[in-house]
Structure 1
Amino acid sequence: MGTPSTHQLREMSVTRLRSLLLLFSLCASLGSAQQYTIKFATVAPEGSTWMNVMREYDAAVRKESNGRLGFRIYGANIQGDEKTVLRKIRVGQIQAGGFTGVGMGEIAPKVRILDSPFLARTYAEIDFLYETFDAEFQQAFEEGGYVLLGWAEVGFVHVFTNTLIQKPEDLRKMKIWTWEGDPVAEAAFGALGINPIPLSITDVLTSLQTGLVDAFYTSPLAAVALQWFTRVKYIVEAPLADASGAVLISKKYYDQLPNDLQEILLRNGKKYMTKLTHMSRDENKNALEVLKRHGLQMIKVKEQDLTEYIRAGARARRSLVGKLYSEEFLNRVERSLTEFKNNHRASK
């Protein structure tokens, strides 16, 4: 073979340059199309409204991001209870979760004000609290290492029991379950002179079956979904509290996402969690009717007894000052809610 001519060398150089440019182009395309999978865990059972809406959220995010971002969803306690999920997020095994107040309180204790017994007693009052203190709660989550993707209210919580309750003293005779390590529930029952039985949420059904507990508190929808209602006869009509809920993601993981994916995640999170809250409210009403049809009887609360419960709720909130939140914050919440109630009454 002869020595390549100058023309041949030029052609070879151009070919190599084109190959390099093509390679760089492919690498850039691969980089921009990097895929992110958010491992998400919840205690909600498969087939529940929670899971169905989360799958809608996932589908919307995948579509808008052209497949660059999506969730891998683990329901029904597959990843453990909420505190276990938080531990797994801290070590990077999963990145996000759906939490009730118990889980949220581990991250941002002041958020537990939302679960206070007999504080907000209508949907209008609940919505007011979320809207008024949203920015403050978001900041608390971020300081705890998480980003709020959306509020997902669990709903009004009722006491379910096997025994007819005719007066507050009757509650003290029951073996009522409380979520293990939940300071708000402990304070609420403590203010009423009740010694509850603390257990993990995963142990409640078995404990009802064995008689270890004979009463519990949850939303009507959760009572149906978890099948707890099959072990009790009565529901206290007056809600104990409104149970908060949210979808949170590790801030460390969130900060690694490209800006456009962060925007897609947040916007759709707010949209679908708002949808979930509205659906949960409707389905809790429907679940209450289902429970009645299954033979559960509603226990009406006398006005004087309700007054006692409301006072106990106020004592419980005060007992948590310095543990979950400051006195200044509690005063601000109570004052804001009182003003809202007064204005709401005046406008009628």
Structure 2
Amino acid sequence: MFLRKSLATLLGALMVLACLTAAGNASAGEEITLGSLAPKKSPWGKVFNAWAKAVKKKSDGALKLTWYFNGAQGDDKAMVAKIRAGQLDGAAINSVGLSAIHKDILALQMPGLCTTWECLDKVRDAMTPRFQANMNKEGFVFVGVGDVGLARTMSKGKGIKTPKDLKNMKVYAWQDDITYPTVTSVVGYTPVLSSVPGLLPALSSGRINVITVPCLAATQLQWWSHLDHINSQVAGIGIGGLVISKSRFDGLPGDLRELFAKTGKKAGKMLTKRIRKEDAKAYKMIASRMTVVKMNPAQKARWKSIFKKIRKQLGQGTFPAELVNKLNTLAGH
């Protein structure tokens, strides 16, 4: 009798312990850490925060997305390195950051390849499965694509209409961009290299006075106020995407993994729509406060020829020739 009572007590205690352990594990949940260069209150930050709230609600708190904004985890290259090292789970990064994982993605941003959203959508949609597969091989999951904006040239002191106008100007090139040596060589200028976080101090000190960037990025990161001319012509399109460590993604419970992927794609679509709208508004605002530089047909044709030459040379070593030819065909060149 005493033995049966003792066994019953022991089994009861074990059941209580199991329930407490399960409850503890449920309350702990899963946390995904994500980084971004975007400020918290920027259009990107607002969408990412809304996504995090939606995930927490839909999972009843079982999945939490923790965002580190404004470059708190370093620039894009640093964030990719942290993801590889297991110090960060994922990040929203631009094309240069994506190219640190699989360099061919940066080819989507070649000068003059696409200057309209319609062109980008066509080309990127056709190439995304290929890029996703290659990123998986590198240990990353490409959750969704993103946009940064239509890139235009902004300058201080004078407008830029021809390559000769760049003479004696201090032209910015992102130090991690593998295409800049070819671009600067073909156009014919010596760039001033900088990281993205280092660009604002360089502009304010006068070390750089020409940039080609999307207007939304220029306003959100406070670059535009140090310049006084902007080209109406679009030189290219800034792109990005959301990535996460494949091992971290695969390690999530099935239901949470599905929730993360599904809501991530939805957030990407929301972000694309919002960024395109906000980028257009940013250009309108900047154009109202700067001298708008408009090129004549001959000048436009000159730049088109230069961009074509740049893309050809990029296909002779930086990117596979097959890839560049395919992108040119998709874009209608």
TM-score range, shorter chain: over 0.9
User: In the alignment, does 2:318 pair up with 1:321?
Assistant: no
Q: CA deviation at 1:248?
A: 0.7
Q: Give the direction of change, closer, same or farther, for the CA distance of 1:322–1:95 in structure 2 (3 Å limit).
A: farther
Q: CA deviation at 1:263?
A: 0.8
Contact 2:36 2:68 in 1 (8 A): yes
Q: CA deviation at 1:15?
A: 2.9
- Secondary structure of 2:147's partner? coil
Structure 1 gap segments, 5+ residues each: 1-5, 342-348
Q: Give the direction of change, closer, same or farther, for the CA distance of 1:334–1:264 in structure 2 (3 Å limit).
A: same
* 1:4-23 matches, cutoff 5 A: 6=1, 8-23=2-17
User: In the alignment, does 2:281 pair up with 1:309?
Assistant: no
The equivalent position to 2:175 in structure 1, one of 180, 199, 205, is 180
Instruction: Give CA deviations for 1:108-164 in whole Å, capped at 9, x if unaligned.
Output: 111011111111121111111121111111112111221112111101111100112
Instruction: Give CA deviations for 1:159-178 in whole Å, capped at 9, x if unaligned.
Output: 10011234331123321111
- Secondary structure of 2:111's partner? coil
Moved more, 267-276 or 157-166: 157-166
Instruction: Give CA deviations for 1:271-291 in whole Å, capped at 9, x if unaligned.
Output: 111111111110111111211
Alignment partners' CA distance in 1, 2:329 and 2:66: 42
* 1:90-109 matches, cutoff 5 A: 90-109=84-103
Alignment partners' CA distance in 2, 1:138 and 1:314: 27
Percentage of pairs with the same residue: 27
Question: What RMSD, in angstroms, separates the aligned Cα atoms of the two structures?
Answer: 1.8
The equivalent position to 1:37 in structure 2, one of 17, 23, 31, is 31
- Secondary structure of 2:100's partner? helix
Instruction: Give CA deviations for 1:2-35 in whole Å, capped at 9, x if unaligned.
Output: xxxx3x4323322322322332344344445552
Instruction: Give CA deviations for 1:167-213 in whole Å, capped at 9, x if unaligned.
Output: 33112332111111212233233321122111111121211122111
Q: What corresponds to 1:82 in structure 2?
A: 76
Instruction: Give CA deviations for 1:295-334 in whole Å, capped at 9, x if unaligned.
Output: 2111112222222212222222222235443111222222
Alignment partners' CA distance in 2, 1:322 and 1:253: 36
Q: Give the direction of change, closer, same or farther, for the CA distance of 1:56–1:88 in structure 2 (3 Å limit).
A: same
Alignment partners' CA distance in 1, 2:103 and 2:14: 55
- Normalising by the residue count of structure 2, what TM-score does the alignment of the two structures yield? 0.94
Alignment partners' CA distance in 2, 1:26 and 1:174: 67
Q: What corresponds to 1:346 in structure 2?
A: none
User: In the alignment, does 2:134 pair up with 1:140?
Assistant: yes
Contact 2:149 2:217 in 1 (8 A): no
AA aligned opposite 1:318: K
User: In the alignment, does 2:219 pair up with 1:224?
Assistant: yes
Q: What corresponds to 1:258 in structure 2?
A: 253
Q: What corresponds to 1:168 in structure 2?
A: 163
Q: What corresponds to 1:286 in structure 2?
A: 281
Contact 1:188 1:312 in 2 (8 A): no
Instruction: Give CA deviations for 1:66-85 in whole Å, capped at 9, x if unaligned.
Output: 11112221111222111111
* 1:105-116 matches, cutoff 5 A: 105-116=99-110
The equivalent position to 1:47 in structure 2, one of 41, 44, 51, is 41
User: In the alignment, does 2:188 pair up with 1:193?
Assistant: yes
Contact 2:174 2:180 in 1 (8 A): yes
AA aligned opposite 1:149: V
Contact 2:39 2:69 in 1 (8 A): yes
Instruction: Give CA deviations for 1:42-98 in whole Å, capped at 9, x if unaligned.
Output: 111221011111101111111111111122211112221111112222222211111
The equivalent position to 1:210 in structure 2, one of 194, 205, 208, is 205
Structure 2 gap segments, 5+ residues each: none
User: In the alignment, does 2:269 pair up with 1:274?
Assistant: yes
Contact 2:143 2:242 in 1 (8 A): yes
- Normalising by the residue count of structure 1, what TM-score does the alignment of the two structures yield? 0.90
How many pairs were matched up? 332
- Secondary structure of 1:79's partner? coil
User: In the alignment, does 2:10 pair up with 1:27?
Assistant: no
Alignment partners' CA distance in 1, 2:264 and 2:3: 57
Alignment partners' CA distance in 2, 1:177 and 1:250: 31
